[in-house]
């Protein structure tokens, strides 16, 4: 009987202390795109948007020979999803403009 009460109490504690905020993925990539993910992480962090940066371990690496890339996720609180997407979109646009200007300068 004590074991049952302990299990129920543990489940209730986990339920009470769960993360109430829901997060949605705004960026997903792989470890080969880590520099881009870091760029977006610091951009969103600078804009004070609550984020979670996750690189879950690929368990195939544990029991297989060789290395498999792990995925990379940037998740944002549901309240800030639109703001985060706009910030990332405007950043991409500015980045493309800079690349285009660099290429135009080279071709002169």
Please tell me the predicted confidence (pLDDT) of residue 31. 85
Provide the mean pLDDT of the chain: 87
Determine the length of the chain.
Answer: 108
**Is the CB of residue 76 less than 8 Å from the CB of residue 51?**
yes
Instruction: Please state whether the predicted TM-score (pTM) of the whole model is above 0.75.
Output: no
Residue 19 pLDDT > 70? no
Please tell me the predicted confidence (pLDDT) of residue 90. 96
Please tell me the predicted confidence (pLDDT) of residue 20. 59
Please tell me the predicted confidence (pLDDT) of residue 93. 96
Q: What is the pLDDT of residues 36-86, one digit of tens each?
A: 999 999 999 999 999 999 888 777 777 777 677 888 999 999 899 999 999
**Considering just the CA atoms, what is the radius of gyration of the chain in Å?**
21
Which residue in 39, 54, 56 sits closest to 92, CA to CA?
Answer: 39
Please tell me the predicted confidence (pLDDT) of residue 27. 93
């Amino acid at each position: 009987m004590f074991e049952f009460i302990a299990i129920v109490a543990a489940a209730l504690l986990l339920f009470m202390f769960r993360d109430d905020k829901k997060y949605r993925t705004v960026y997903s990539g792989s470890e080969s795109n880590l520099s881009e993910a870091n760029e977006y992480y610091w951009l969103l962090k600078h804009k004070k948007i609550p984020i979670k940066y996750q690189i879950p371990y690929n368990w195939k690496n544990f029991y297989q020979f060789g290395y498999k890339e792990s995925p990379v996720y940037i998740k944002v609180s549901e309240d800030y999803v639109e703001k985060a997407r706009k910030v990332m979109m405007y950043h991409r646009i500015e980045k493309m403009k800079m690349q285009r200007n660099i290429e135009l300068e080279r071709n002169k």
